[in-house]
C-alpha cells in the first residue's frame, strides 16, 4: 500500500477523505467551520483537564485521541514505529506554545483555516496569507542551514509517551470521571457523537501516517524545493470540503453569515488574523510540520513531536489564562504582545540555529 500513498493519487485521496469527514463532523454537531481543528480541539482538552478556566471551551475531543492512536496503529501494522528523540526538546516545547498562541489569535490551525474558507469565511483568506508568509519565512531559514539538531533512536518507551497519554484520555472519555470538565454552552458544548469523532480521528490518523499528509509541509515543499506533491492533498481537502459544505447547506460566503452575525468562532480584525497565522506558520515550519502531522509523528514514536504537542497544550492553557486568545470581538487584551514575543523568539531561533557548514 505504501507506493499508492506515496503517489499523487494517494495524497489526493487522503485529502478527499479528510475533506469529506470534516464537514460531516460539523454537520453531526461540531462547531461551525470546525469539523476538525487540532489547535481548537487541543485547547478544549486543556480545558477539560482544568488547565484553563474558560468554561465555554472545555471538552475531551475524541478526534485528537484518534489522530494519535491512528498514527500509532498504522505505524505498528507497517513496522514503521521507531522511537526517537533528542532534537532540542525545550526549544520544540516553546515552538508548540507559540504556534498555539498564534493559532488562537487567528482562531484556528492550518486545517481549520482551510475549512473556514471551505465554509465561506472570507477572513480565512487573510489567515492563509499569513500562514503562507510564515512558511516562506521559515523556508528561508531552512535554505540558510537552520538545524535544531538531529534526533536519535531511543527506547520504545520514550517514543510511546503521547500514545500512552492518548490511551489515558480514551479511558477518561469512556469512563467519564467527575473531575473532567465539559462545557454546557459555547463551542465546547458543540460536538459530534463521541464514537463517530473517535472513528474519524483513527481513520485520518492512519491515512495521514501512511501518506505523510501535512498542510504546512505542502506549502514548505512548494516554496523550498518546488515540489507540489503534498500540496495536492491540501488542495483536494479544500475543494472536497467546499463541495460537501455546498451539499449540506453549510456554505455561507462573506466575513459574516448575516448582518450582525459573524462567522462561527471567528473575528474580522484582519491585521491579527494575518499576524497570528504568520507566527503559527513560522513556528510550525521551524518545528517540522503542521499540528496534525505532529500528532501523527508522535503516534509513530517521535518524542520530539510529542514535546511539541505538549507545548501546544501548554500554549492553549496560557492563551486562555492570560487573555491571549481571540474571541468574536477580536484578539485578547494581551494577544498582540504575545504574538510579537513569539515572532521575536522564532526569528532568533532561526538566525542562531544554523549549521555553519550549510
Tell me the C-alpha to C-alpha distance, in Å, between residue 29 and each of 34, 75, 141, 187, 250. 10, 30, 41, 10, 12
Cβ atoms of residues 54 and 317 within 8 Å: no
Q: Which pTM was predicted?
A: 0.96
80 with 8: CB under 8 angstroms? no
Which are the contacts of 74, defined by CB distance < 8 A and separation ≥ 6?
A: 80, 205, 206, 207, 209, 210, 299, 300
Model pLDDT, residue 356: 54
Task: Find residue 261's DSSP bridge partners.
Answer: 258
15/215 Cα distance (integer angstroms): 10
Residues 6+ positions from 209 with CB-CB distance below 8 Å: 70, 71, 74, 75, 80, 296, 299, 300
The partner residues of 291 in beta bridges, in order of sequence, read none
Instruction: State the 10-residue block means of pLDDT for the chain, 358 residues long.
Output: 84 98 98 96 98 97 98 97 93 98 98 98 98 98 94 94 98 97 97 98 98 97 96 98 98 90 94 98 97 98 97 98 96 98 98 74
pLDDT value of residue 358: 42
Distance from C-alpha of 26 to C-alpha of 49, rounded to nearest angstrom: 24
- Residues 291, 297 contacting (CB under 8 angstroms): no
CA atoms of 297 and 303, how far apart (whole Å): 8
Nearest Cα residue to 187 out of 37, 318, 338: 37
The candidate with the shortest Cα–Cα distance to 153, out of 87, 77, 72, is 87
Give me the pLDDT at residue 279, please. Answer: 98
Cα gap 204→36, rounded to integer Å: 10
Contact 308, 295 (CB under 8 A): no
pLDDT tens digit string along 197-212? 999 999 999 999 999 9
Residue 259's pLDDT is 80
* pLDDT confidence of residue 84: 96
Q: Residue 199, class by beta-carbon neighbours within 10 Å (0-12 exposed, 13-18 middle, 19+ buried)?
A: middle
Helices 8-27 and 194-211: crossing angle in degrees, nearest 10, is 160
DSSP-assigned letter for residue 151:
-
pLDDT value at position 87?
83
Beta strand 261-262 pairing with 256-258: antiparallel
Distance separating alpha carbons of residues 108 and 127, to the nearest angstrom: 9
d(CA 235, CA 243): 12
Helix (H, G, I), strand (E, B) or coil at 336: helix
Q: What is the pLDDT of residue 2?
A: 53
Residue 202 CB neighbours (<10 A):
22
The answer to whether residues 299 and 163 touch, using CB atoms and an 8 Å cutoff, is yes
Helix ranges restricted to H, the chain? 2-5, 8-27, 38-48, 62-77, 89-106, 110-118, 123-143, 161-175, 194-211, 215-225, 229-248, 270-287, 291-299, 303-321, 335-352
Q: Provide the pLDDT for residue 258.
A: 80
Give the contacts of 64 (CB within 8 A, at least 6 positions apart). 38, 41, 42, 45, 166, 169, 201, 295
Amino acid at each position: 500500500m505504501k507506493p499508492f500513498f506515496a503517489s499523487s493519487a494517494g495524497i489526493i485521496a487522503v485529502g478527499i477523505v479528510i475533506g469529506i469527514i470534516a464537514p460531516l463532523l460539523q454537520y453531526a454537531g461540531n462547531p461551525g467551520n470546525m469539523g476538525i481543528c487540532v489547535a481548537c480541539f487541543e485547547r478544549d482538552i486543556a480545558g477539560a483537564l482544568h488547565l484553563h478556566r474558560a468554561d465555554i471551551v472545555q471538552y475531551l475531543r475524541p478526534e485528537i485521541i484518534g489522530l494519535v492512536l491512528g498514527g500509532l496503529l498504522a505505524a505498528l501494522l507497517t513496522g514503521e514505529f521507531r522511537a526517537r528523540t533528542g532534537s532540542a526538546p525545550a526549544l520544540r516545547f516553546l515552538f508548540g506554545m507559540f504556534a498555539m498562541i498564534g493559532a488562537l489569535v487567528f482562531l484556528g490551525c492550518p486545517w481549520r483555516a482551510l475549512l473556514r474558507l471551505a465554509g465561506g469565511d472570507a477572513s480565512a483568506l487573510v489567515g492563509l496569507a499569513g500562514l503562507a508568509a510564515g512558511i516562506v519565512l521559515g523556508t528561508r531559514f531552512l535554505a540558510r542551514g537552520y538545524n535544531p539538531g538531529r534526533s536519535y533512536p531511543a527506547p520504545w518507551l520514550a517514543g510511546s509517551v503521547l500514545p500512552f497519554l492518548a490511551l489515558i484520555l480514551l479511558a477518561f472519555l469512556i469512563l467519564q470521571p467527575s473531575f473532567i470538565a465539559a462545557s454546557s454552552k459555547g463551542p465546547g458544548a458543540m460536538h459530534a457523537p463521541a464514537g463517530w469523532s473517535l472513528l474519524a480521528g483513527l481513520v485520518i490518523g492512519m491515512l495521514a501516517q501512511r501518506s505523510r499528509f501535512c498542510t504546512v509541509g505542502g506549502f514548505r515543499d512548494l516554496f523550498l524545493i518546488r515540489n507540489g506533491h503534498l500540496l495536492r492533498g491540501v488542495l483536494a481537502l479544500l475543494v472536497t470540503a467546499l463541495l460537501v459544505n455546498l451539499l449540506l447547506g453549510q456554505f455561507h460566503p462573506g466575513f459574516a453569515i448575516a448582518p450582525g452575525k459573524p462567522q462561527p468562532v471567528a473575528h474580522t480584525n484582519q491585521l491579527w488574523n494575518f499576524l497570528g497565522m504568520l507566527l503559527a506558520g513560522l513556528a510550525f515550519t521551524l518545528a517540522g510540520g503542521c499540528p496534525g502531522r505532529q500528532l501523527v509523528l508522535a503516534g509513530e514514536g517521535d518524542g520530539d513531536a510529542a514535546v511539541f504537542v505538549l507545548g501546544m497544550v501548554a500554549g492553549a492553557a496560557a492563551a486562555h489564562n492570560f487573555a491571549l486568545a481571540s474571541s468574536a470581538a477580536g484578539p485578547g487584551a494581551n494577544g498582540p504582545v504575545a504574538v510579537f514575543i513569539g515572532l521575536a523568539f522564532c526569528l532568533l531561533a532561526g538566525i542562531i540555529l544554523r549549521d555553519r557548514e550549510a
